[in-house]
Structure formats: C-alpha cells, structure tokens
C-alpha cells in the first residue's frame, strides 16, 4: 500500500501536461475555470484531440481502444485535466454505454458503436427517467412492441441531458408487463434521427437548458439494437449505474474548484481584508476540503478494486453521496464569497463572445447560477436518498 | 403580554392576502419581471390606495403610523406572494433612512412623494470593496462653495434604476473605515455626471451600479448632519432586517407548504413519497425551521427600543434567514426531485429569493460576528 508516484508516473504526468498545454483551447479553459457554460463545439474540439491521441477512453480495456493505463495513470490524467479546466468528456458514450456494449454487446454492435464513441463522431444521451418514473425507475412505461424486424417504441423520457446534442440514445423500455417490473425491461439503442422522436428543452433554475423531454411516437428501431437479451435490461442498467455513480464523484474537478475558491478567498474582498481572515468562512472551506480528501482516497480504492476485476458495488453509492454534496458545498462557498455580486443576473454576459459589461468580479458572474444548477447533483444519477436506501439494504443489511 | 393581532392588524393581513390572491399570481409576476422597468405601475398604485406605501411612516409625515408588527404582517404576505415590487428599497429602506434624517424641505417633499406613490427612492450603501461593512465608505463628498462634489461607485443598489431619488452614503471626513465622517446625500436620478447601470437580479428584482464622477449638488442635498450619518444607516439596517425576516418567513412557510403538497401527491414505488419516513422527518424539520423563522421574525418586530438585547433579537432573525433558510430551501428543492430544478416550478423562484435574502444587508456569518461582539 502506498501513494507514491514512480519515476515512470512522473514522466507520464509531464506527458499529460504538455499534451494539455499543446491542445487545450485557452479560452475554453478560461470559461470552464470561471464556471461559464461551454458549447458542444468547445467540448467536441477537445474530445477530438483526445481521440486523435488515443486518450478518449481511459476506462476501457486496451483491446477496445482504451488506454491501458494503470490506476495511477488514470488518476494523474484526471487530476491534470481537472487542474487545467479541460472540458469534461461527455459521459453518456465513454463512461456509460461504452462499458455496457463492451460487456453485453455482440461483435456486430461493438464494431458499429465503439469506434464512433472513441472518435467522438457520435454523441449519446441516456433515456432512463420518465415523468412517472424517477426514483422508481423499474416502473417505467415506455413500451417497445415487436413488429417484424423492428421494435415500435412509444412513450416519454424526461430530464434527458444533452438529448438536443445527441446522435444516439440508450433507453430502458418495457417489453413485458405480466411479470415483476424489473423482469420486463429491455435496453435498446435508438438513433435520434429516427422518425417520431421530438426533443423539447427544459429550462433549469439557473436559466440554462441542458435537459430535455424526449417524446417517442411510433419510433421504429431495428431488433439488432437490443443489448443483451430481451427483458434483461435491468441487469444492464444496474451494471451501468455503478459506473455512472463512480464518475459522478468528480474528485479531480472538485479539487480544482476548491482551489479556485481558495484563490478567491485570498482576494481582498472583505472590507480591505481577505476572506482567509474570516474564520467562519475558512472553517467551511476547510471542512469541505477534509471531506474531499476522504473522498479522494475512497475513489482511488474503488478504482483500484475495479482494476483488479472487482466492479464497483454498493460502495459506489458512498462516492456518489459525498461527491455530489461536495460539489454543492463548493458552489455554496463561491456564492458566499461573491457577497452582493451574487445578485446581478448576467446570463447574456455569460455567453461566449459576449461584450456585455459585467457587474462585479468575473468569477462572481456565474456564482449564483452555478449554485442553483448544482442542486441537481444530489438528485440525478439516483438521488442521494435512493443511494442511502441502497446502502442501508446492501451494505448494512437492514 | 398578548401575542394575538389587533383588529387593525387582522385587517391588514386579510387585505394583503386577498390582494395577492386576486392580483399577484405567478404568471403576472413573471410578466412584470420581463418588462423593462421590473415593476408594475398599476400595482404600485394599488399599494398606495390600500395604504401600504404610507404604512410605516408616522402620521405627522403623512403616513399611517404603523409599527413594525404591521410591517411584518405586510412583508410576510409579500414573501408568500413573492412580490417583486420595489417596496423594500423605496418604502422600508429609503423611507426609514429619510425619516431618521433631520427635518427639511427636501426630505419632507421626498417623503410625501414616496407616500403618495408618485416617486421612488433607493439607498446605495455598498461599494465594490466594502462587502457587508457599511462603514467602509470610499465615495468622497468634497465641499464646494455652495454645495458638494461627489466621486465614487455604489454597487448593487436595489431599485437604483427604478427610482427618482438615489440616497447614498459618502465620506465627508475621516479615513476609509471610520464610522464618523459618513454623511447621507440625495441625488436626483437625472443629475448630470451620474451614471446608472440598471440590471435585473437573479431573484427577479432589479439593482443598479451607481457611478458618480465630479457630481455637483447643492447644500440642501446633504440630508443627514454632516459626518453623522452612520448611526442612521445602522438603524435603517435594523429596521429593514425586521421587514426582510418577515419576508423570509413568508417565503419559508410557503415553500414548506408547497413541498408538503408535492410529497403528498408525487407517487413513486406505488405510494406518495411522503409515506417514506426518511422524507417525513425532513418535511417535519422544514416545518420547524419555518416556525423558527416565524418566531424570530415576530420577536424582532416586537423590539421597540435600541437596547442591545433587541439588537441581538434582530440579528437572530437575520442569522436564521441564512442558516435555517438555506437548509429549508435546499431541502425543498431536493424533495421535489428533478421538478425542483426547473425554471417552470414556482418552488425554484422562491428558492432563489430566499437564497439571496441571506446576502441582503450582510450574510449570516457577518451577523454571527456582530452578535458575538455584543455578548463576548
Ligand atoms: C439536471 C438533471 C439531469 C438529468 N439527466 C438525466 C438523464 O440524462 N437521463 C435520465 O434518464 N435521467 C436524468 N435525470 C433524472 C434523474 O435521474 C431523476 O431526477 C432522479 O432519478 C429522481 O427522480 P425524480 O426526479 O422523478 O424524483 P422523485 O423520484 O419523484 O423523487 C422526489 C424526491 O423523493 C425522494 N425519494 C423518492 N423515493 C424515495 C424513497 N423510497 N425513500 C426516500 N426518498 C425517496 C427522492 O430522493 C427525491 O428527493 C436528470 C435529472 C436532473 C435533475
């Protein structure tokens, strides 16, 4: 057991650093650092750079185009990306459906989808939740009925992140009803250009629109788009959720975000003094960092086990709970640091290339929107209450 | 001791509640927010007709002689209705500030115009470097032969772009942080060399950056005694906190009710989510937080002198907006699940206002410190 970096690791870190230095768009990095929104193009630009380098999928086995990195290398890579404020790779392809196809997909499916995830030619979205089925996902009612060589799909998916940018969507649909709800669900891939799909944006509290309602009306999907077996979708979904929950912990990003809060705290914001002189503020900041350190170790442990072939189980829920809370606390600290500059509504000046004059310091512009937006982290990916139910049952045995 | 409302107070309560129900539904509010001015003339007129613009002012100044309890009743209902008219900036804050300034022609005229609903005022106290320290004043007023010349920047002035008169604090002597040497001036919104950058705030109100560059005003525009404005500001803040705590109390009560309604109707796993004990305990905690806000708001409205005990009571209500309000707001959103983070749901609109009320006049950390200074 040790946390040391070998010489080889140090060399790897330098390689990552210089790759980022050479390839990351500085303006995009600045915007991410300040908590401003990034466009699909900004993200795509970065993903293509990663893809060309062969670094798109650190979590995939090497034979499928993964990087074959050690745990330490993955950790270093995430840390450097976080520190440099690179765009996040969109998780729906690489982190979610990719591992699913690798585990459950046919050769055909692997050939068809994996390369396009690696090259970032296809963007994915996740069609799980429905208006009537959130926490109780298994109650979902979007129906797929077999018709010749197709499924005909009808229903409504909601909260679908980035559906408006996606080329493909993986969905859970009901293929049987005369059984336990979990036993009648299938995992299917849908081309977003199919006839009968419409995507309506949902505006969130902070004024942005990253989530959508997706209506499916008699959408025809070829039978070969089924993953694993019919009515075995729940098994697939659970496998995927484990991956999702780990990725939601976002330790490297939170480290960067917290170091930014520290920089802000060092500015002379408080009547000529810096917030570092304000014990109440500093206590909150440090308590948050204490949690983050614990989370960092816990995340390493889960990845380390995964590398040894033990996929994340219920403990992943711990990462999700704390990781999401920490993300929220960090936005809360920035909001507090902003003082009165949390007030101005500056959506326009947050847009890329905007010339709107800003009110207050540039880092304050996004502070309240971020705080509002980040309420989502304890809700999505299985709400924190549901994670606690899982832990109570699976780990505590209650 | 009698903790029930008087007949008059019951009357205010029922009339403001009726007004909100009849005239201030959420679609209307959203329309007002989208309009250029950010308030509605006809609603302001109704406020005047209903006597609310004159409510907190003494009768000898043309007001209705209402006390803090009356103001609390009104503000609590405004909180429940999420009223975004510039009532606090004009009536509560500027009104109190003017009332505390020595009598004079200019002051009396402004007050009378405000009470009649013909003019609006705002008060600029914060500056880019001051954070919540209202004695940190770098705006300088220099004496000229027949008046004053002002240079400085007042930041996030609530209602600044909506008002005819902008009241500001400026330094007439002393150093940056001195409490002595701060004076209160009145500026006409259309003065030359006064730049007003008006913008919407995240909670649906409006604020402005006020920049003064070699702005010249006559002697009579010094409203306070020279150098003696700070105490007036402090008392104005205390008074405004009472109103703000009442607003927060209304918001919290309403958020609790909306959440209770939601968890009673939203079904998952075949039952209303309010059937889960994990949710029940949290909803109960929300109720308690809301009741605490209501109690502290009432306590602070019943303060009637400037004793330190009363100051502590008022600080307590402010601290609870930050700590209890933040908790309640976060829980309300969480228990709404995905619906909670949509712009469409009303709960989020209340959440935004409640969140920012913590910052208004200084956040809970700031008042914890002030409180500690009194006792220890
Ligand atoms: C920004 C955002 C992005 C999202 N992106 C996607 C996406 O891309 N794809 C997708 O499929 N979904 C997505 N979701 C949906 C997300 O997974 C759901 O919101 C989540 O599962 C909760 O469901 P719900 O919103 O219906 O809340 P509900 O299930 O109605 O829950 C409401 C509240 O009750 C609690 N609760 C429910 N059941 C219990 C219980 N048994 N015990 C205790 N508490 C309980 C919940 O924790 C929550 O606090 C997204 C959500 C958000 C907010």
Tell me how far apart the alpha carbons of residues A159 and A230 are, in angstroms, rounded to a whole number: 25
Q: What is the pLDDT of residue A75?
A: 87
3-class DSSP state for residue A173?
strand
Distance CA A125, CA A91 (A): 9
Phi and psi at residue B295, to the nearest 5°: -65, -45
Write the DSSP symbol of residue A354: -
- A359 three-state secondary structure: coil
Same domain, A222 and A257: no
**Ligand 1 center from residue B339 Cα (angstroms):** 9
Check CB contact under 8 Å for B348 and A205: yes
> Is the CB of residue A211 below 6 angstroms from any atom belonging to ligand 1?
yes
Distance from C-alpha of A315 to C-alpha of A325, rounded to nearest angstrom:
16
Q: How far is A393 from chain B (nearest CA, A)?
A: 14
Q: Is B266 in the pocket of ligand 1 (CB under 6 A)?
A: yes
CB contact under 8 A, A204 and B337: no
β-pairing verdict for B165-171 and B121-124: parallel
Considering the domain architecture, whether residues B247 and B334 belong to the same structural domain is answered as: yes
Assess if residue A72 is contained within a domain: yes
With a CB cutoff of 8 Å and minimum separation 6, the contacts of B222 are B141, B148, B183, B184, B185
How far does residue A159's CA lie from ligand 1's centre (Å)?
A: 9
> Which chain A residues have a beta carbon less than 8 Å from that of B269?
135-136, 139
DSSP A340: G
Looking at the structure, tell me whether residues A213 and A267 fall in a common domain.
no
Q: Which of A211, A343, A383 sits opposite B202 (nearest CB)?
A: A343
Report CB contact under 8 Å: B203, A207. Answer: no
Torsion over CA: B331, B336, B337, B340 (sign): negative
Flag whether B1 is in a domain. no
Between CA A13 and CA A80 the distance in angstroms is 8
Compute the mean pLDDT over every residue in chain B, rounded to the nearest whole number. Answer: 96
Give B-chain residues touching A269 at CB under 8 angstroms: 129, 131
**Contact of A225 with A190, CB cutoff 8 Å:** yes
Residue reference for tokens 């918001």: B251
In a domain, B2, yes or no: no
Among B88, B199, B206, which would you mutate to test the A interface (most chain A Cβ atoms within 10 Å of its Cβ)?
B199
> Of A166, A199, A232, which marks where a domain is finished?
A232
pTM of the predicted model over 0.90: yes
Give the closest-approach CA distance of B211 to chain A in angstroms: 12
Calpha distance A270→A287 (Å, rounded)? 21
pLDDT per position as a tens digit, A125-170: 999 999 999 999 999 999 999 999 999 999 999 999 999 999 999 9
Which residue has a Cα nearest atom 4 of ligand 1?
A: A159
Q: Is the Cβ pair A344, B130 closer than 8 Å?
A: no
CB contact under 8 A, B333 and A375: yes
Examine residue B129 and state whether it is found in any structural domain, yes or no.
Answer: yes
Residue B223: alpha-carbon gap to chain centroid: 22
Residue B191's CB is within 10 A of a number of other CB atoms, namely 16
Asked if residues A67 and A78 have their Cβ atoms less than 8 Å apart, the reply is no
d(CA B327, CA A68): 44
Yes or no, beta carbons of B340 and A278 under 8 Å apart? no
Cβ pair A379:B156 closer than 8 A: no
Question: Which of B89, B196, B202, B333 best probes binding to A when mutated, by most A CB atoms within 10 angstroms?
Answer: B202
The conformation of residue B346, written as its DSSP 8-state character, comes to H
The answer, yes or no, to whether residue B249 has pLDDT greater than 90, is yes
What is the reported pLDDT for B127?
97
Give me the CATH number covering residue B91. 1.10.540.10
Q: Could you give the CA distance from residue A170 to residue B308 in angstroms, rounded to a whole number?
A: 63
- B58 pLDDT band (50/70/90 cuts)? very high
Residue B165 token pair: 């008169």
Protein residue closest via CA to atom 7 of ligand 1: A160
Question: What pLDDT shows up at residue A303?
Answer: 77
Is the CB of B374 inside a 6 Å radius of any atom of ligand 1?
Answer: no
CA distance B257 to A52: 54
Number of domains forming the structure of chain A: 3
Q: What is the pLDDT of residue A307?
A: 73
Give me the percent of chain A exceeding a pLDDT of 70.
99
Q: Are residues A256 and A196 in the same domain?
A: no
pLDDT at A56 (0 to 100): 97
- ipTM score for this prediction: 0.96
How many Cβ atoms are within 10 Å of A201's Cβ, its own excluded?
13
Per-residue confidence (pLDDT) for residue A100, from 0 to 100: 96
Cα A237 to Cα A130, B19, B274: the distances in Å are: 15, 51, 27
Residue of the CA atom closest to atom 16 of ligand 1 = A380
| Structural domain ending residue among the three candidates A185, A203, A232 | A232
Check whether B141 has a pLDDT greater than 90: yes
Q: Is the dihedral of CA B168, B173, B178, B180 positive or negative?
A: negative
Taking CB atoms and an 8 Å limit, are B343 and A281 in contact across chains? Answer: no
- Predicted pLDDT of residue B3: 87
Going B12 to B17 to B19 to B20, the CA torsion angle's sign is positive
Q: Are residues A319 and A205 in the same domain?
A: no
pLDDT the model gives residue A305: 82
Structure confidence at residue A309 (pLDDT): 79
> Is residue A53 a part of any domain in this protein?
yes
At B51 the pLDDT is: 96
Q: Are residues A73 and A141 in the same domain?
A: no
Does B275 lie in the same domain as B263?
Answer: yes
Q: Report the number of distinct structural domains present in chain B.
A: 3
Looking from the CA of residue A129, the nearest atom of ligand 1 is 11
Q: Are A39 and A164 in a shared domain?
A: no
Residues B32 and B130 in one domain: no
B63 and B136 inside one domain = no
Mutation test of ligand 1: which of A134, A156, A169, A398 has the most ligand atoms closer than 8 Å to its C-beta? A134
Radius of gyration of chain A (CA): 22
Tokens of residue A178, six digits: 């005369």
Q: Does a structural domain hold residue A203?
A: yes
Which of these three, B83, B118, B153, is where a domain ends? B118
Tokens of A95: 């982190």
Nearest CA to B94 out of B164, B40, B181 is that of B164
Asked if residue A47 has its Cβ within 6 Å of ligand 1, the reply is no
Query: What CATH number has the domain bearing residue B132?
Result: 2.40.110.10
Residue A188 lies in domain: 124-232
Are residue B82 and residue B169 in the same domain, yes or no?
Answer: no
Query: Cβ(A142) to ligand 1 under 6 A?
Result: no
Q: Which residues of chain A have pLDDT under 70?
A: 245-246
pLDDT of amino acid B376: 83
The torsion angles phi and psi of A354, rounded to 5 degrees, stand at -70, 145
Condensed to tens digits (0 to 9), the pLDDT of residues B155-201 reads 999 999 999 999 999 999 999 999 999 999 999 999 999 999 999 99
CA B308 distance to own-chain centroid: 22
Domain coverage including residue B244: 231-373
Tell me how long chain A is.
398
> Would the CB of A159 count as within 6 Å of ligand 1?
yes
Q: How far is the CA of A314 from the centre of ligand 1 (A)?
A: 18
CATH number of the domain where residue A135 is located: 2.40.110.10
Domain end position, chosen among A232, A258, A292 = A232
* Positive/negative CA dihedral, B241, B367, B364, B288: negative
Q: Cβ of A385 and B333 within 8 Å?
A: no
User: Same domain for A225 and A253?
Assistant: no
Nearest Cα residue to A194 out of A171, A213, A212, A169 = A169
Does the CB atom of residue B337 touch ligand 1 within 6 A? yes
- What is the mean pLDDT of the segment spanning B215-231? 97
Asked whether A134 lines ligand 1 (CB < 6 A), one says yes
Contact A106, A135 (CB under 8 A): no
């Amino acid at each position: 057991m040790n946390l040391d970096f070998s010489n080889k690791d140090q060399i790897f870190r330098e390689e990552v650093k210089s790759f980022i230095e050479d390839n990351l768009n500085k303006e995009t990095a600045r915007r991410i650092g300040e908590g401003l929104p990034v466009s699909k193009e900004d993200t795509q630009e970065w993903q293509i750079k990663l893809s060309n380098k062969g670094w798109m999928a650190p979590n995939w086995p090497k034979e499928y185009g993964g990087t074959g990195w050690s745990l330490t290398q993955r950790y270093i890579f995430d840390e450097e990306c976080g520190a440099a404020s690179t765009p996040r790779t969109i998780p729906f392809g690489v982190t979610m459906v990719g591992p699913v196809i690798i585990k459950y997909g046919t050769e055909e499916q692997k050939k068809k989808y994996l390369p396009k995830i690696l090259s970032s030619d296809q963007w994915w979205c996740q069609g799980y939740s429905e208006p009537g089925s959130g926490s109780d996902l298994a109650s979902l009612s979007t129906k797929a009925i077999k018709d010749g060589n197709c499924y005909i799909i009808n229903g409504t998916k909601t909260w679908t992140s980035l559906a408006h940018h996606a080329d493909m969507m993986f969905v859970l649909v009901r293929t049987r009803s005369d059984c336990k709800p979990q036993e009648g669900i299938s995992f299917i891939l849908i081309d977003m250009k199919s006839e009968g799909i419409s995507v309506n944006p949902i505006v969130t509290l902070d004024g942005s629109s990253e989530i959508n309602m997706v209506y499916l009306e008699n959408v025809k999907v070829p039978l070969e788009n089924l993953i694993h077996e019919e009515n075995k979708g729940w098994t697939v979904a659970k496998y995927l959720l484990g991956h999702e929950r780990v990725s939601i912990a976002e330790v490297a990003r939170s480290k960067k975000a917290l170091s930014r809060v520290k920089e802000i705290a060092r500015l002379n914001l408080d009547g000529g003094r810096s917030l570092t002189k304000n014990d109440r503020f500093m206590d909150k900041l440090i308590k948050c960092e204490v949690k983050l350190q614990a989370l960092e170790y816990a995340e390493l442990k889960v990845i380390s086990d995964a590398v040894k072939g033990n996929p994340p189980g219920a403990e992943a829920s711990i990462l999700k709970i704390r990781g999401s809370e920490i993300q929220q606390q960090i936005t809360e600290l920035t909001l507090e640091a902003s003082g009165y500059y949390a007030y101005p509504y500056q959506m326009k000046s947050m847009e890329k290339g905007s010339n709107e004059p800003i009110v207050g310091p540039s880092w304050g512009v996004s502070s309240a929107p971020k705080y509002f937006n980040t309420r989502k982290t304890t809700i999505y990916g299985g709400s924190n209450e549901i994670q606690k139910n899982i832990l109570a049952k699976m780990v505590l045995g209650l | 001791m009698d903790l029930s409302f008087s007949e008059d107070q019951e009357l205010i309560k029922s009339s403001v509640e009726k007004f909100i129900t009849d005239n201030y539904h959420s679609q209307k509010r959203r329309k007002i927010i989208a309009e250029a001015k950010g308030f509605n003339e006809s609603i302001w007129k109704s406020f005047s007709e209903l006597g609310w613009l004159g409510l907190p002012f003494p009768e000898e100044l043309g007001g209705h002689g209402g006390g803090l309890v009356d103001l609390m009743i009104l503000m609590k209902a405004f909180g429940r209705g999420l009223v975004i008219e510039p009532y606090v900036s004009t009536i509560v804050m500027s009104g109190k500030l003017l009332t505390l300034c020595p009598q004079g022609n200019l002051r009396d005229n402004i007050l009378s115009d405000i009470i009649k609903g013909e003019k609006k005022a705002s008060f600029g106290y914060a500056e880019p470097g001051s954070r919540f320290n209202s004695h940190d004043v770098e705006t300088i007023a220099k004496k000229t032969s027949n008046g004053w010349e002002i240079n400085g920047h007042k930041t996030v002035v609530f209602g600044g772009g909506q008002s005819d008169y902008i009241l500001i604090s400026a330094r007439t002597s002393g150093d940056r942080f001195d409490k002595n040497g701060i004076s209160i001036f009145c500026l006409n919104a259309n003065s030359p060399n006064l730049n007003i950058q008006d913008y919407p705030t995240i909670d649906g109100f409006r604020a402005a950056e006020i920049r003064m560059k070699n702005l010249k005003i006559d002697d009579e525009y010094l409203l306070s005694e020279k150098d003696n404005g700070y105490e007036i500001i402090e008392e104005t803040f205390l008074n405004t906190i009472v109103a703000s705590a009442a607003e927060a109390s209304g918001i919290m009560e309403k958020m609790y009710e909306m959440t209770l309604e939601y968890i009673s109707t939203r079904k998952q796993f075949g039952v209303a989510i309010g059937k889960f004990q994990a949710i029940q305990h949290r909803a109960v905690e929300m109720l308690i937080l809301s009741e605490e806000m209501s109690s502290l708001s009432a306590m602070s409205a019943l303060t009637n002198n400037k004793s330190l005990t009363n100051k502590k009571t008022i600080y307590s209500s402010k601290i609870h907006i930050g700590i209890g309000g933040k908790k309640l707001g976060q829980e309300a959103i969480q228990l709404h699940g995905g619906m909670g983070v949509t712009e469409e749901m009303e709960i989020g609109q209340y959440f935004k206002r409640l969140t920012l009320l913590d910052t208004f006049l200084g956040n809970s950390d700031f008042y914890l410190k002030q409180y500690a200074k009194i006792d220890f």
